[in-house]
Amino acid sequence: CKCNFISFIFLSLGTGSNILSSLHDLFWLLKSKVEKQLQIISVLQWVLTFLVMGIACTLILMYILCTDCWVIAALYLAWLVFDWNTPKKGGRRSQWVRNWAIWRYFRDYFPIRLVKTHNLLTTRNYIFGYHPHGIMGLGAFCNFSTEATGVSQKFPGIRPYLATLAGNFRMPILRDYLMSGGICPVNRDSIDYILSKNGSGNAIIIVVGGAAESLNCTPGKNSVTLKNRKGFVKLALRHGADLVPVYSFGENEVYKQVIFEEGSWGRWVQKKFQKHIGFAPCIFHGRGLFSSNTWGLLPYSKPITTVVGEPITIPKIDNPSQKDVDFYHSIYVDSLIKLFDKYKSRFGLPETEVLEVN
């Protein structure tokens, strides 16, 4: 009976080569599952960073001040006062943090890809207009605040600075984490410093539509808030920084959102938050942590492809008139629409799709 049982096992497994083949397939299956879990963890940590890290670190610091370890918190607060203006002076980027392996897992979860269409001169400075905002600007973060998609290799000699809400840099620990990725406040002091006192080869990425655009993002919709957003053009003229349109196909697909109609109480609350705090609270959901069929905070794993368009040469005008601003703004809008129309069919959109400019 024992011999018959052993013979049955070998007959079931087949020859030695088949056994090795089965073990090889099992190894790759296990590796694939581990990589998928690492991708989920990498995205989850960023979502939690985006939503709660600033508040959580502030509360923890306050708690430590009330314990026997208060000296640690006091030393950090002293450092914070000393270092307060660093975000306004280009920040403190870390190539080590930008090259963390976790960002490659973050990239592969969706996946996210960066497409270069033209070379950028290192003798010039640039303002990238990033569209659309989406819920969290995941494509903007991955492409320009990490090296996961190879931004430094695609644009050698160019230093990208992703601009975000200045309020984030008042949060302990979070400010340092953001600066390590090359993220800076989206205010005039910070942008003026980078474009005038930081040499050349700088590229500031501004999500032009901001909070207002995030309120209208929903899967299947390609619209940008741009008609009355002209401040970035004025900044470009004052510094002679070239404008570069950037469109991220798929940015609106990774979350589903409840859209409140104009005039509704929900939209009124969102606009009040936007006006007084700088961001608009959205009611949105993605997939669950353990299943894509449940609701949760994880974004859906939909492809995001960010296309960097052709730079628009901008003259340096110390005090640009409204006519100057309007002229170059119209050129920028036309360039963005052309970029969208040229690449839309390559990334899954029908030829009839039109970019809505609000």
pLDDT tens-digit series, residues 176-208: 999 999 999 999 999 999 999 989 999 999 999
In angstroms, rounded to a whole number, what is the distance separating the alpha carbons of residues 237 and 65?
47
Residue 112 lies in a domain: yes
In angstroms, rounded to a whole number, what is the distance separating the alpha carbons of residues 142 and 103?
7
Question: What average pLDDT does the chain have?
Answer: 90
Residue 2 lies in a domain: no
Quick count: other Cβ atoms within 10 Å of Cβ 135? 22
Q: What is the CA radius of gyration of the chain?
A: 24
Range of the domain at 308: 43-357
Number of domains in the chain: 1
Residue 71 lies in a domain: yes
Q: How confident is the model at residue 274 (pLDDT cuts 50, 70, 90)?
A: confident
Pairing verdict, β 284-287 and 256-257: antiparallel
Nearest to 136, CA basis, from 255, 220, 56: 255
**Predicted TM-score (pTM) of this structure:** 0.88
Please name the residues in contact with 221: beta carbons below 8 A apart, sequence gap of 6 or more.
252, 356
In angstroms, rounded to a whole number, what is the distance separating the alpha carbons of residues 340 and 54?
35
Residue 302 lies in a domain: yes
Q: What is the pLDDT of residue 22?
A: 59
* Percentage, residues of the chain above pLDDT 90: 75
Please name the residues in contact with 98: beta carbons below 8 A apart, sequence gap of 6 or more.
145, 146, 147, 180, 181, 182
Task: Mean pLDDT check: name the lowest of 77-81, 101-105, 259-263, 301-305.
Answer: 259-263
Residue 33 lies in a domain: no
Q: How confident is the model at residue 10 (pLDDT cuts 50, 70, 90)?
A: very low
Task: Mean pLDDT check: name the lowest of 32-46, 192-206, 229-243, 271-285.
Answer: 271-285
Nearest to 157, CA basis, from 189, 102, 202: 202
Q: What is the pLDDT of residue 214?
A: 86
**Half-sphere exposure for 305 (CA within 13 Å, toward CB):** 16
Instruction: Enter the DSSP assignment of 298.
Output: B
Residue 3 lies in a domain: no
> Backbone phi, then psi, for 321, in 5-degree steps?
-80, 165
Instruction: Enter the DSSP assignment of 49.
Output: I
Burial (CB count <10 Å: 0-12, 13-18, 19+), residue 303 = middle
Read off the pLDDT of residues 287-317 as tens digits, 9 standing for 90 and up: 998 888 889 999 999 999 999 999 999 999 9
Residue 55 lies in a domain: yes
Please name the residues in contact with 80: beta carbons below 8 A apart, sequence gap of 6 or more.
172
Strand, coil or helix: 314: coil
Mean pLDDT of 139-158: 97
Q: How confident is the model at residue 261 (pLDDT cuts 50, 70, 90)?
A: confident
**Half-sphere exposure for 95 (CA within 13 Å, toward CB):** 4
Residue with the bigger pLDDT between 266 and 63: it is 63
